[in-house]
Amino acid sequence: DTGVSQDPRHKITKRGQNVTFRCDPISEHNRLYWYRQTLGQGPEFLTYFQNEAQLEKSRLLSDRFSAERPKGSFSTLEIQRTEQGDSAMYLCASSRRDGASYNEQFFGPGTRLTVL
């Protein structure tokens, strides 16, 4: 069990550019979640997948954001036409089925995005 990994750890980009982040969940974890955290705030939910199906999206996930989990393993989060307000830490988490439900979420180290 190597934990949730995220790549890159840091990304600096210019306004208007597209960026893509990757998340590798803990192996055999069916659910994968994306959250966003701005400085001094708690994380906010963006979206989650069960296997390859995207089951829920927050209203925070504007049309410029898209997430995929094509084979039910790793996931990518793409932000198109980045804006300075997109600067944040993007956190990925995963969980596995435990009995009748999914419980504990385990988080990765995050990707810090800075939009200049």
**Interacting residues with another protein (CB under 8 A):** 4, 6, 31, 33, 35, 40-45, 48, 55-56, 58, 91, 93, 101-110, 112
Nearer to another protein, 3 or 16 (CB): 3
In the complex, least distance from residue 104 CB atom to another protein, rounded to whole angstroms? 5
Nearer to another protein, 60 or 81 (CB): 60
Residue for token digits 């990765």? 108
Nearer to another protein, 18 or 51 (CB): 51
Closest CA to 96 of 87, 106, 86: 106
In the complex, least distance from residue 20 CB atom to another protein, rounded to whole angstroms? 19
Q: 112: which residues sit within 8 A by CB, 6+ positions away? A: 9, 10, 11, 89, 90
In the complex, least distance from residue 82 CB atom to another protein, rounded to whole angstroms? 20
In the complex, least distance from residue 1 CB atom to another protein, rounded to whole angstroms? 13
| CA atoms within 13 A of residue 91's CA, in its CB half-sphere | 16
